[in-house]
Amino acid sequence: MTTQVRTAIFPVAGLGTRFLPATKATPKELLPVLDTPLIQYAIDEARAAGIERMVFVSHKSKPAIERHVMDDIRLRRELEARGKPQLAEELKEAAFCPKTDDVVFTMQDEPRGLGHAVLCAREHVLDGPVAVILPDDLILGTPCLGEMIEAYDGGHLVSTMAVAAEDVSKYGVLAVTSQQGRITRAHGMVEKPAVEDAPSRLAVIGRYVLDPDIFHALETQAPGAGGEIQLTDAIDAHAMERPISGFRFSGTRFDCGSKSGMLEATLHLAGQDPELAEVLDAYTGNRNHARSAA
Ligand code: UTP
């Protein structure tokens, strides 16, 4: 059996309730950090990792996601006609071409949880382990999925970071067995534990490389925290047969599913853009960023 990771699954069917009313008509995954939607950062990360097939698990109320990720020839021609060929070229490079790229859109009927969304991708994945990317976990710096795939040595590998004790209840948390360098071996995982029940402070962030057995585990997985079918529970259920490892990634992660994380990510990228230095100075009084480099 191949250990090459050829497929990435993007679960994008959620309701995005923490961002209402912004997400009433605009999918959370299309909210921008500066001028780039979250889903685009995720796609670029999967491409950089050499993924062959991209599977989007979406919802019929979110057609704008497909519109964003696929090439729009009419828009490009319009931009060219208006003397903006470079912008047209940038859009072409970012988008998928239906003729040359291997892209699948499948629908989750109802947002029954991340585990259920991943299960919806089952019939569309290529042989071997699969990657899962949650676009609202934005990881900047060293692309996370690429370094995870390099480190992957079978079983289930999840990206991890240490969080404050008061935050463990927002995450899946690893039950740690041992630690060596960036890799943590674990004997289980718990979704959204109470602080007093958390087995560690090592939280799971939205990047996974999963043994294809995960689909089998998800088929029979009962709803867990929040009444949703949790990916964490399905990984944990077969921990004896499929080892669980955590990977401490090198990039910087922003929780763009929350307003504070989105603001942080925006300030972080604005701080790297000389054109935004003046407005950033005016609001933050911080002069220690890109203007000095300009
Ligand atoms: P989240 O739990 O962060 O997203 O799921 P959400 O449920 O849309 O947001 P809130 O909590 O209500 O604000 C992480 C990712 O998993 C997808 C989401 O679209 C998001 O990209 N997801 C979640 C699904 O595809 N299906 C689901 O049933 C749940």
Domains and CATH numbers, the chain: 7-257 (3.90.550.10)
* Distance (Å, whole) CA 108 – CA 126: 19
- CB 117 less than 6 A from any atom of ligand 1: yes
Q: How far is the CA of 173 from the centre of ligand 1 (A)?
A: 18
Reported as half-sphere exposure (CB side, CA atoms, 13 A), residue 238 has a value of: 19
- pLDDT above 70: residue 137: yes
17 within ligand 1 shell (Cβ under 6 A): yes
What average pLDDT does this structure show over 155-175? 96
User: What does the pLDDT look like over 25-64, one tens digit per residue?
Assistant: 999 999 999 999 999 999 999 999 999 999 999 999 999 9
Q: Is the CB–ligand 1 distance for residue 16 below 6 Å?
A: yes
- Cα(16) to ligand 1 centroid in Å equals 6
Residue 266: the pLDDT is 97
> Helix, strand or coil for residue 291?
helix
- CA 136 to ligand 1 center in whole angstroms: 9
Q: How confident is the model at residue 2 (pLDDT cuts 50, 70, 90)?
A: low
Paired residues of 159 in beta bridges? 205, 247
Neighbours of 255 (CB within 10 A): 20
Q: Summarize the confidence of residues 202-222 as an average pLDDT.
A: 96
Give the pLDDT score at 66: 97
pTM of the complete model? 0.94
* CA–centroid distance, residue 114 to ligand 1 (Å): 7
**Nearest residue to 47 via CA among 120, 90, 91, 96:** 96
For the CA of 116, the nearest atom of ligand 1: 28
Kindly state if the Cβ of 13 falls inside 6 Å of ligand 1: yes
Look at residue 290 in the predicted model and tell me its pLDDT.
52
Percentage, residues of the chain above pLDDT 70: 96
Cβ–ligand 1 contact at 115 (below 6 Å): no
Q: Quick one: average pLDDT of 215-230?
A: 94
The pLDDT, as a whole number, for residue 289 is 52
Asked if 229 and 115 touch (Cβ cutoff 8 Å), the reply is: yes
Q: Among 209, 165, 207, 204, which residue's Cα sits nearest to residue 186? A: 204
What is the predicted pLDDT for the residue at 294?
Answer: 44
Q: What integer pLDDT is reported at residue 1 of this predicted model?
A: 54
**Closest to 46 measured CA to CA, from 125, 115, 121, 148:** 148
